[in-house]
Chain A
Amino acid sequence: MKQSVLDAPVRKNLIFVLPGLLLYSAFVLGPILAAIYLSFTEWNGIARPDFIGFSNYLSLLTDSNFVTALKNNALLMVFYCLLPLFIGMAFASIVRSLKGREQMAIRTLLFMPYIMPSAVLGIVWHWLYNPAFGPINQILKSVGLGAIALPWLGDFNFALPSVGMVATWYYCGFCMVIFLTGLQRLDPSIFEAARADGAGAAYTFRRITLPLLLPEIRIVLLLTIIASIKSFDLIFTMTRGGPANSTLVPNIYMYQLGFQLNRYGYAAAVAIVGAILIFTVNYIVHRFVRPADGGSR
């Protein structure tokens, strides 16, 4: 049999993957390793880094700002993960029942926010939320609801939900598309069988649709959880973590520590904790949200 060039020994074939490997090492693996190293040091970005062991991590445990950032992030997960998941599923059910051009139009409209850079959306929403001349408050005032025309991004209680709602709006179209493909994957006759057996819409959703969409739910959870822990640009362009740290999240805190306070070692520790957090939450999702259709015995 004729041998392919790829049948050569591994060390010879290494040359084919070397360019990619070099780029990966330079721009991904190297910075990761550097960040891990930096997290064990105290470094102002100019002088030589001083190795301080786990001091940065220990300090994080008692850092009230970091705890606030984690709490805010936990709350943001509701807006990044749960709301888009439920709204996306509802949208998918509605859009699936539409036909032809109507379906395509609605699907495109709902998905459109996702194709925009989130930093741009942050700037647009910052303007929409503007207390003085932003359209949201203008509309509220014009319909007689001026009393609730708040300074949304300036209010300590409402800033985080306001930013979160933008994230929900941004991700629900994406979730809808994932669920739509999931629904299209399912054999329509199982829903007809359920109907013929007398199952109502709610019962069918609970006993059939939901369990069969678990693979999509898992994907959505994984991606939105990663997005929520990585969240930076939307918050940076809308509130920069304010007012009074009410929208502070680990990534914003890391930015402030590194690029404003020149505490690169401490900032790296925040980044590493964020990465560990992503791995942990994703492991939990992987472990507990499993496809329900069973494998081999």
Chain B
Amino acid sequence: MGHLKLQAVTKTFGNVEVIRATDLTIEEGEFVVFVGPSGCGKSTMLRMIAGLEEISSGTIAIDGRVVNDIAPVERGIAMVFQSYALYPHMTVFENIAFPLRVAKLAKGEVDQRVRRAAELLKLSDRLEYKPGELSGGQRQRVAIGRAIVREPSVFLFDEPLSNLDAALRSEMRVELSRLHASLGNTMIYVTHDQIEAMTMATKIVVLRAGRVEQVGSPLELFHKPANRFVAGFIGNPTMNFIAAEGISSSAEGATVRLSTGLELKLPVNGSIESGEALELGIRPDDLVLGGADAQIEMTPEVVERLGNQSVVHGITKTDQPLCAVIGGDRPISPGRPTRLGFDVAKAHLFRNDGTALERRVDLQSLVAD
């Protein structure tokens, strides 16, 4: 249970189309993360699945049943809200028991389910407390508990960790992943934080301006972004983009000339035309100090030393901004020109319209033992 299918789903508010025709299939047991910048429609999409927002057209089916006109409670979903949405006047027990009381379950059954959820979420000693007496992480667990007791086929999370501090957020990420592993239910999670998306998801849906830009596994999105937007959105620090011009293409890949004058042959699929305006993408982590296949000279402007690594922001000779992540023990200082190199196999190539030329990367080999 927990299979979800969206077909040509749209949402309009007045004349504004906030979700454009979207087709999406979520398999049972998947942990799917909707990610994208603010206002991209990810929360609206989640709310439409929850039934809190009507869809303008298309169909949403949960476990093969079209739920367009079905009340949220009958959809087999449970939702965890960004603000936790706990009832401040009720104890933790009553908060978790609320959906069961609405469903008029027997007292014994309510008690049993609430205590089971509390045990799973390590809340057993907090059942008589009120939300105002709990920490942010505990409140979040109560909200999850309220979802768990309903035994839904699909869990919906709307930016549930955004109100927590960094340390607690990372702790809760692990807890949520554990919860998913132990419950095995389908989970749909909305966030604008790509770290949450990359660490927890089995499948990521990247949205921009109401449109699905790419659907895939975290590694697929990282190594084979479908377009410049996804490439720039996934990965931190963001990918460097350097203007390039097409020279030729062959079975080995595409040959391009960078704005710095450097000529490179990139192992990508698809053909390019001579003189075609392109962009080369290289992740800051893939830049290394000193020699490699390709070299770029950069003058560092700011060096952020994180200990184990240093994030270097600078510009090339052609005033192209560039960011590199290098080892924390490597010598580098602002103002002194430095030669950076990268492996051409790690570079990405984008056409003028933003679409990517597919890189030749074996994703299986990246996750193999």
Contact = CB atoms under 8 A, between A and B. Distances in A.
Sort chain B's interface into a size bin.
20 to 34
Contacts of B87: 190, 207-208, 212
Contacts of A297: 129, 133
A295 interface: yes
B86 interface: yes
A293 interface: yes
Contacts of A293: 88-89, 130, 132
A196 B73 contact: yes
Given A208-B87, A292-B89, A294-B88, A194 B132 contact: no
A203 B102 contact: yes
B303 to A, nearest CB: 40
A182 interface: no
A190 B86 contact: yes
A196 B133 CA distance: 25
Q: Indicate the member of B79, B82, B87 with the most A CB atoms within 10 Å.
A: B87
A199 interface: yes
Interface string A148-160: 0000000000000
A190 B85 contact: yes
A208 to B, nearest CB: 6
Name the residue among A192, A197, A294 with the largest chain B CB count within 10 angstroms: A197
Interface string B193-214: 0000000000000000000000
Contacts of A196: 50-52, 72-73, 77-79
B71 interface: yes
A193 B79 contact: yes
A209 to B, nearest CB: 11
Interface in B45-104: 50-52, 71-74, 77-79, 81-83, 85-89, 98-99, 102-103
Nearest to A212: B89
Nearest to B84: A189
A102 interface: no
A295 B77 contact: no
A187 interface: yes
A197 B73 contact: yes
Interface residues of A, number: 22
B150 interface: yes
A258 interface: no
B163 to A, nearest CB: 12
B102 A294 contact: no
A208 B52 CA distance: 18
A295 B52 CA distance: 31
Nearest to A211: B89
Nearest to A294: B130
Contacts of B86: 190
B81 A197 contact: no
Contact of A187 (B73, B83, B103, B146): B83
A194 B83 contact: no
A141 interface: no
Given A189-B81, A192-B52, A297-B129, A197 B146 contact: yes
A198 B81 contact: no
Contact of B99 (A189, A198, A294): A198
B130 A195 contact: no
Contacts of B73: 195-198
A184 interface: no
A142 interface: no
Given A196-B79, A198-B71, 5 more contacts: A192-B85, A197-B73, A197-B146, A211-B89, A297-B133
Interface of A: 187, 189-190, 192-199, 203, 207-208, 211-212, 292-297
The 5 A-B pairs at the shortest CB distance, nearest first, are namely: A198-B73, A292-B89, A193-B85, A293-B88, A294-B130
16 contacts: A187-B85, A189-B83, A192-B81, A193-B81, A193-B85, A193-B146, A194-B98, A194-B102, A195-B52, A196-B51, A197-B73, A197-B102, A198-B72, A292-B89, A293-B130, A294-B132
